[in-house]
Structure 1
């Protein structure tokens, strides 16, 4: 499938028809199966107006279209229209944002929330396409729900410029755990100082556009990606490791660490701190008045985005997951997934294998800190490791993330044990 990502330039001051004409010229020269516009491409319109706009755009381009639109009710939505579907293909569909919006999907009327089509994929060219909007990609249960409903291609619509390393950490990780193509387009707003781009990863590999027009600096830009004939971009990945050596909580292979990894017995224990629990794969420790919950898992669990949600854990405290491998592992794959788990779960992560002993956690803004073991030991500062509780905003009026009042509805996207709530 050939997917054209559109990156409009300016702050809602587009000459829309000129932009549409540019897209049409590309379609006339290149095979395009789907055109994707970013989040909030159309601002503050009613539901009827939104559908009229996207239906008219799909008709003008004579090509299926996904378009991000801000509704007058405060929701952020992605509308899809295909005027010439083959038998069994989707004619129209809508995806609604779960986070960082004036009104979230959780606030819809009950009949809308219970609509079985709410998470159904778009069917096009034999592929199941799922869409989520901007920050929704940071929440693992949204991705889990979309995959449960059927997913061959995942597309993210982002509304503006971003911290590119953070976006790529998530997009790359998602492409590995899903083992598929993940794409993202975003608006380019000159009043925002961070970069904007059109991005695609396939199973962890960064893709080059098969065709592109414009560099996005002061003009609209377009990238055409092929899922059938992907072009791998040769990228030299250099991970930046922190030189910090924290002592608030340490994990190592020797008993001088607060938590010791026994590679012979394939278990963790503490010879220094009292374990308040009696679980085979978890420790519940206290150090200097701080509660630390440590879980140990096989390396294969790193590929399971729901693993952390299935563990027994207390509401309060700091959380750390240690993934152990019996043999050598793919270092790049492991680090990419470890970054994703630290970001999406607000936890510390450690991977220990024959060829690797590294850790990751995030700062306040979900930027990654990576650590290499020093003398077979890694330390954490116990900041921004609150686990699931750290995902939610305490302010009921917050327009960032998911307010804590919607915690139960978010968790209901996956059936989880009672003790995780």
Structure 2
């Protein structure tokens, strides 16, 4: 039955799921209205978002094996229920004036649904697009980044028209419907399936497609050196990106004297580079390889963090920030395809979940580091140098990753030569 499915509709289904859960990033539009209407402090209101973000990465790791065992359809449906109920439940919390219920619904339930929904379609996409892994996963993750751009103005309009509680009811139901629609079509391809064009290219010798380095379970993957090299690379890349996103506006105003309006414009453009980086870097990785893309990420950011503290030119400063943000988005979109390259597709969802713990940790470390350093040094210069050190470490790690991959490939080549001689 799966052979009748269109792989581009599979990709569209994944985008529908990611667009829905990506609405979580529009949370800032709720903070002030909820605080003013309910009398809760902004800090209390923000705790719900903190819980959700912390759970997003950790639940992806916790339920990765469940996603692999249950398949993309069932796990996406679980996400639809948790995320939809979490959002609509926030409306109930507003209606009954319960901060605890708000934290349990928007924070806990939505966070669990977000993590499960994020990884549900990814391993399936990788299997449907063995020839364009980067592009396929980039499209889905772009959907996640775009979700906030759609939800933010929509939620603001709805709150003005029908009130906060009703806004949560409407959006919760909408998210549930869209995730359910995506889940209803998504399914893995038959074992060993390949697109016709890929088969033709392989048969004619027109293109050579690299095989996955190994086919490993999640338990086997976490015991390898390259898993932890990739984990370190993702943690630092994520921490740097979230740090930049969290303080971009005040940083630009203080360091190079941007006006508040100009800084706000820059923040809007950052969203474009975050999304564009997700699809652009992912598509590029299909041609130059995932190890090379991550190497480029850290070269760009090394130059950026070296230059930021010494530049006084506002345009150069903003360009460097935008490049860092594009690398942040590109890291997330390249990760699933890179996992497939390194560990195969046997338990890609579970391995992806483990690596997404860097998402939760980066979300804590990035803002915490910048705020602590800024407070103690009364400036951002030290921040740039600390992150220059971290990015330099990642650059070294990315080189070690390339060497580790080459070592394994050579070992396989020697084994194949030995087997051929013995045969």
Task: Please indicate, yes or no, whether the TM-score normalized by the shorter chain is above 0.5.
Answer: no
> Which structure has the highest helix share of the two?
2
Q: Quick one: higher RCO (CA 8 Å, sep 6+), 1 or 2?
A: 2
Compute the TM-score of the two structures, normalised by the length of structure 2: 0.25
Compute the TM-score of the two structures, normalised by the length of structure 1: 0.25
